[in-house]
Amino acid sequence: MNTELELGLERRIGKRSAAVVEKHLGITTVGGLLNYFPRRYLSRGELTPISEVPLDEEVTLIARVISNTTRQMRARRGSLTDVVISDDAGTSPGGVPGTLKISFFNGYRAKAELQPGRRAMFSGKVTRYGGALGLTNPDFLLLDEDPDAPGMDPEKLAAMPIPVYPATAKLTSWSIQKVISTLLDTVDLDALDDPLPAGISAREKFLPMPQAYRLIHAPQTPEDWRRARDRFRYQEALVLQSALARRRAQLAAEEATARRPVPDGLLAAFDRQLPFTLTAGQAAVGKTLSGELSQDGPMNRLLQGEVGSGKTIVALRAMLQVVDAGGQAALLAPTEVLAAQHFDSIRRTLGPLASDGLLGGLGDHTVQVSLLTGSMSTAARKQALLDAASGTAGIVIGTHALLSDNVSFYDLGLIVVDEQHRFGVEQRDALRTKASKPPHLLVMTATPIPRTVAMTVFGDLETSVLDELPAGRAPITTHVVGLAENPGWASRIWSRSREEIDAGHQVYVVCPKIGTDDDGDFTPGEAEPAPGDLEGDAAARELASVTAVVEQLREEPALAGVPLAPLHGRQDPLLKSETMASFTANETKLLVSTTVIEVGVDVHNATLMVILDADRFGISQLHQLRGRVGRGGLPGTCLLVTALEPGHPSRRRLDAVAATTDGFELSQEDLKLRREGDILGASQSGGRSTLKLLRVLEHEDIIARARQDAQEIVGGDPSLADHPALAEAIEDYLNPEKEAFLERG
């Protein structure tokens, strides 16, 4: 056992340093700090050239001071020291030597030390003021004074990489480097057990672990850190995949009830009355599901499908097979709106096969469908609970309410989780406890995801893909409406809406907020942070809100006489379902809502989707929202309205969404544009850590190899008794609370 890794930091670096590290990095153990890896390494050729510093990012620069001026501020007390720096000659080969202005408020040390001609290392966040990029109150270190400073010796600097740690304003990268250097001197690295099996290390020609720890923190050459990082990256992949392999093995070893198809049951009757033919993909996936449901080991399958590819029918057919075999099926939706919509549309699709609970005699080919949500009236809820528990309800549709303790089933055979983006392993497990034997499980993703993401995020599930849309699907055209460059388009949006409505169609208008003073319609964990958001930005302009936009549109001449209604998560549930019903019935022509309509909502007559302040949403959200139109054979249009300037980083997402309707392509793009941690951090893999060295898009081959290795290791040693260090690393991965690895920056 690697007790050394669990050891309190104070034992190895002293009380004072340990306290500082805990305070600023949240790290308390030897292992935590050893595994706090540099985010990148700088060498002369790799420093950020000043001419290319990225807005809003922490950068480290080595530069020479050109000028230093200090003046008293007029508006408030204190002084402002402006320092202009310039790239060292040769720092950016072929690049333009840039200059950058740095401002220090009350920067007495800066005023005294940063004299023209001095060289220093600067580290801080790039901000924009007065049109130009700059740094405000950065940390700096004179290179020719501090003998410990990295990059002190110009000769050495040319070759020696400088590690850059995820730093905070209070604890700089080089302070972290110094503490870790002490740690490397005091910890007996050679005594540590290696989580990587020797065979794998030999095959991959990895550095031995102690050496890898030394070189990842204190490399002499770029080759050093590359080799060290390769090793830890693979280790990360193996730990993750072993955790998943172990879970797969555990799931597979369970015993489930086989639900074999019956020759003349509900499913057969349903297929006969289906108003369309299944796509080839739907038929193929249907066959896979049917086969797995017929076995006495549990199905654990992920169904990925493009928005509108027809996942619901596939799920419904699986549910009917289970009902035919005498079991019950539960369908779990992420929102009440979606649960209610599924309830309505599934009963409609079933037609005469859905019983209303009054008939349902023996030998009758019908199934009762029940709805169970948190906001139902007590009486309706009681009835639904009773029907689930007695087995009267063959199909139970609901929200998270299905997870609560008082819900029980007579014989739950299949759980379908729809549009899952926000359902972690814990919730899946909570549902599985609702059956005496583990039920079969089908998880459906809201948007398609790249293969390696599926392997990582849903690595405990087998995967099926629906990659074609049903024939006759009308195309969706997407436009970015930039109000910054074309203010006049603001009113054009509403006359365009009027045209749709006059043509007999309907319009969605989506806003990022409910009211004028709230943060949006997000339940915790639902919000997708919009990357690249500028705080000052949001404060400067009022974002579109449902209440304000409804008021505005009621006054809008172009929309005079148009029945419109608001819809958002804070409304009374009854009002919500009435509003939705009125929109579905084509009485309400224009719906102003939050992202409550993001997933699954299916109103065929809607043809125009207007998304206000679209830059506030993530790529997959926008793709989902857009998927709400163009459903009924009528061509759809989506307008992504933004007030941001054309070159703004957040507009790249809008351009990406406008450029393609291919969900797989978009999810790749999404991952590239945002930090992966945001996606993986949602913890669907069972662990809560974000990945440190592994990038799911870049390292596909590593992930695939590690998956293979993990499969073999776990296959031969299911309890990992012969791989204690690996088992321990998995525990650390699964319970990161033991050590808060704070990813900063």
Site string for ligand ADP, 582-611 (x = CB under 6 A): ------------------x-x---------
Please state the closest distance from residue 419 (CB atom) to Mg ion, in A.
6
Q: Using alpha carbons only, give the angle 47, 50, 51 rounded to the nearest 5 degrees.
A: 120
At 464, give phi and psi (nearest 5°).
Answer: -125, 150
Residue 455's SS3 state is helix
Binder of residue 245, out of Mg ion, ligand ADP, none (CB less than 5 to 8 A by kind): none
Q: Which residue is nearest to Mg ion (CB)?
A: 600
Give the footprint of ligand ADP on residues 472-491 (CB under 6 A).
none
> Which partner, ligand ADP, Mg ion, none, binds residue 18 by CB below 5 to 8 Å per kind?
none
The binding track of 174-213 with respect to ligand ADP, each residue x by CB under 6 A or -, is ----------------------------------------
Contact positions with ligand ADP (CB under 6 A) in 289-348: 305, 307-313
Alpha-carbon distance 233 to 228, whole Å?
Answer: 9
| Measured distance CA(176)–CA(163) in Å, rounded | 10
Name the minimum Å distance from CB 373 to ligand ADP: 19
Contacted by 68, from Mg ion, ligand ADP, none: CB < 5 to 8 Å by type: none
Rounded to whole angstroms, how far apart are CA atoms 584 and 342? 13
What number of other Cβ atoms are within 10 A of residue 699's Cβ?
Answer: 20
CA distances from 355 to 6, 181, 351, 369 (A): 60, 71, 9, 7
Query: Closer CB to ligand ADP, residue 257 or residue 478?
Result: 478
Q: Are 742 and 165 in contact (CB under 8 A)?
A: no
Please identify, using beta-carbon distances, which residue of 93 and 472 lies nearer to ligand ADP: 472
Q: Which CB atom, from 171 or from 476, has the smaller least distance to ligand ADP?
A: 476
Q: CA dist 286 to 237, 259, 596, Å?
A: 32, 14, 29
In the complex, residue closest to ligand ADP by CB? 310
For ligand ADP (CB under 6 A), the number of binding residues is 16
Burial class (CB in 10 A: 0-12, 13-18, 19+), 375: middle
Q: In what order do the strands lie in the sheet with 300-305?
A: 354-355, 367-372, 393-398, 328-332, 412-420, 440-445, 300-305, 462-466
Could you tell me the smallest distance in angstroms from the CB atom of residue 284 to ligand ADP? 12
Interaction partner, residue 309 (Mg ion, ligand ADP, none; CB < 5-8 Å by kind) = ligand ADP
3-state DSSP of 31-54: HHHHCCCCCEEECCCCCCCHHHCC
Which backbone phi and psi does 65 adopt, to 5 degrees?
-80, 130
CA pair distance 565, 179, nearest whole angstrom: 60
Least Cβ distance, residue 50 to ligand ADP (angstroms):
48
Question: Tokens for 498?
Answer: 């009027």
Q: What SS3 state is found at 654?
A: helix
- Nearest Cα residue to 570 out of 321, 322, 289, 337: 337
Least distance from C-beta 395 to ligand ADP, angstroms? 15
Which of 298, 305, 600, 618 binds Mg ion (CB under 5 A)? It is 600
Question: Which of the residues 262 through 281 are near ligand ADP (CB under 6 A)?
Answer: 276, 278-279
Does the footprint of Mg ion cover residue 138 (CB under 5 A)? no
Tell me the window of 11-19, 555-563, 571-579, 598-606 that interacts with Mg ion (CB under 5 A): 598-606
By beta-carbon proximity to Mg ion, the closer residue of 667 and 690 is 667
310 binds, among ligand ADP, Mg ion, none (CB under 5 to 8 A by kind): ligand ADP
Q: Where do the DSSP E strands lie in 91-146?
A: 99-105, 119-129, 132-136, 139-142
Q: Which does 278 bind (CB under 5 to 8 A by kind): Mg ion, ligand ADP, none?
A: ligand ADP
Give the interface segment with Mg ion, choosing from 107-115, 359-367, 593-601, 651-659 (CB under 5 A).
Answer: 593-601
Q: How far is the CB of 524 from Mg ion (least distance, A)?
A: 23
Measured between alpha carbons, how far apart are the two ends of the chain, in Å? 33
> 């299949």: which residue's tokens?
414
CA 350 to each of CA 319, 365, 383, 471, 565: distance values in angstroms, whole numbers, following the listed order: 12, 11, 21, 21, 30
Closest distance to ligand ADP from the beta carbon of 600 (Å): 6
- What residues are paired with 414 via a beta bridge? 329, 440
Among 222, 470, 573, 649, binds ligand ADP (CB under 6 A): 470
Q: How far is the CB of 418 from ligand ADP (least distance, A)?
A: 7
CB of 510 to Mg ion, least distance (A): 18
Least CB distance to Mg ion at residue 628 (A): 11
Q: Which is nearer to ligand ADP, 268 or 474 (CB)?
A: 474
The distance of closest approach from Cβ of residue 299 to Mg ion in the complex, given in angstroms and rounded to an integer, is 19
| Residue 6, H or E segment | helix 3-6
Cβ distance 370 to 389 under 8 Å?
Answer: no
Chosen from Mg ion, ligand ADP, none, partner binding at 531 (C-beta under 5 to 8 Å by type): none
Q: Contact 225/212 with Cβ under 8 angstroms?
A: no
Burial class (CB in 10 A: 0-12, 13-18, 19+), 244: buried
Out of Mg ion, ligand ADP, none, which partner does residue 602 contact, by CB within 5 to 8 A per kind?
ligand ADP
Instruction: Compare residues 618 and 663 and give the one whose CB is closer to ligand ADP.
Output: 663
Residue with tokens 């102003």: 592
Nearest distance from C-beta of residue 667 to ligand ADP, angstroms: 15
How many whole angstroms separate alpha carbon 102 and alpha carbon 543?
Answer: 32
Tell me whether residue 342 or residue 498 sits nearer to ligand ADP (CB atom): 342
Q: How far is the CB of 287 from ligand ADP (least distance, A)?
A: 15
Residue 366 interface partner, choices ligand ADP, Mg ion, none, CB cut-off 5-8 Å depending on type: none
**Residue 308 binding partner per list ligand ADP, Mg ion, none, with a CB distance cut-off of 5 to 8 Å that depends on partner kind:** ligand ADP
Please report, as ranges, the residues that interact with Mg ion according to CB under 5 A: 600
Residues of this chain that bind ligand ADP (CB under 6 A): 276, 278-279, 282, 305, 307-313, 470, 600, 602, 631
